[in-house]
Structure 1
């Protein structure tokens, strides 16, 4: 539950023409929905066996599914509570999603959802990862906005959840990036209890999680930041993070900077910056290309975006983005971010996962749930149960594709640290 600052609702009601997908658009909606409207969950693609990886397991017993855990399930998403915005209903539910690929060019992607056993506790703004035959969740916040210490793991062999350990208090965090390499999990950045952005990197050794999980401090990132995600770069031993928010600028705008780290080196190194400042987005590596999708930006940070009401700018209002950027790390020389065609709708605080069918050279990205722009009627950012699918092989560089019906942005308020400044400016 990340809180948002107080702001006048009249600042948030600007009407902007949405972009609608066309038949030729690489984006589409699935015909199936998440069982509940959901945001701020964790999403991980898990490959497992139902017998724990026994050497006699037949190929048919190997399962690959996308797992969604926890999140905000309030219909109103983050709603106005008089002093800040927050989600009032979290979940301990977990769902698996099994994609079904089209068999002909005339068919569309679809899939099936199934409920997994409930997690031991509710949480959102957490991370999830796979270790051996287990899907584990760590960090995040509870309904009271307190950081969660417990580390819970789902064993696909027993179909049950178990608390396997706890994060030491000094390492507790939310809205962070997580990355797994073998039995080691890297917990990168995020926010502490008071929403100060962290530069810390915590390395969890889960090779003996039935007995003791150990923790050590890794090489810190250069810029403290939260609302971030991490992906592998050209090989599994290199990690990339991008964008996010930091208290160092009073959450006045998201970051566009990108850092990457080669495991075992002495520092994080800067690489080409994003074209748009964005936080609460998704970062996905698919077939050698890294995609930055949607998220939260500033009202004056997007190309072609104008808002006439000067109070929106005065209040530091933000926008929900529908843009996509891609970094092709397979090219020779210094790779640069290139803007791709828009999503069907602006979205942030969602989950996403890349998916490649066995035997296929192409892949798609599934986008689950999230929150849409502010609605004055409910004074909230509603959650959605919709699932989008993005086929990058059909996308074109922005400017080469067909013109959209408009720029899809939705005004939202800034982070809680900016509240005092906003009130003073409006006084």
Structure 2
């Protein structure tokens, strides 16, 4: 494939700019040899084209005399620029990663000319602005399109992106796009396994049509303005492992039919969900993180939650939950964090907090009885504003790891040990 001259220039300059930035930080005694090695690696990657025959350390040890080299800077032999116009270079650019830089400006409308073989395009975490060009549809081999954390505006080309049939990873998050509903067109991307569309002014409901995304493993549509209920397909998806829908305006109750058995992390916090946590949550055998805080959930924590052996982080604070905690909750072998602040729980706390629990916040509830007498693993313990009574444990050596203790607003008596 013969690359157009403009494409040669733009592609080479983009790729080599990152190389030059790296070389600029090389120490003076290393810079010459490192620069030369890097240039030879680039030449090899391009298939050792005859146009770069001068890039030969045997025939010419001074790489500053090689075709296209501009040298200068703080040490002898430091490459500060590369210019290779009109050389009719050929190649198949498959991977371009310019992430975590300070590039700015708009993307060219002929971006599709990069290479029809392009499989991975990563422009994440820069300062690119303007609109995402519709010509991105002209990169049919794309498997990952990573555009998050830029300053793109306007409407993103959903119809064109949906033509990228091979796409497996798509990120558009953290861009100030114009407010718009979640694009139905993305339901055509049936090879998607990773979808990140957080904080991009998305409105409306989570499309039911996304049930066609049968290979989806990670879905993050968080920090938007989504409304309506979480569609049933989310709770029944056979491959989903990570679901992040936090900080939206989602409503409705949690369903009784939950069969997404591969879920590992579920975060639906900071929404307006109501109703109870269903017993059917027991089906999520692989669940490790359960975040449902800052909603309007009511009822009790189901006893079946103790049958989720991989749970390590449960955060249910700021809801309307009540009743006693199931005794089996304390037997979860991997539980590290339990945060149920600001609810209406009653009953007593266990005498001994299991050693695996490091963070326990039960503040602003209605717990009564005595404080636990042993919590050898706790780093943080907050039980403020409850109905606890009695004295502080005399032997505080069983709380040796504590870095924070909050017990105000109770009915405790006696001396501080």
TM-score (normalised: structure 1): 0.22
Rg (Cα) greater in structure: 2
- Which one has a larger percent helix, Structure 1 or Structure 2? 2
TM-score by length of 2: 0.23
Choose between structure 1 and 2 for higher RCO, CA contacts under 8 A separated by at least 6 residues: 1
Query: Which structure has more strand as a fraction of its residues?
Result: 1
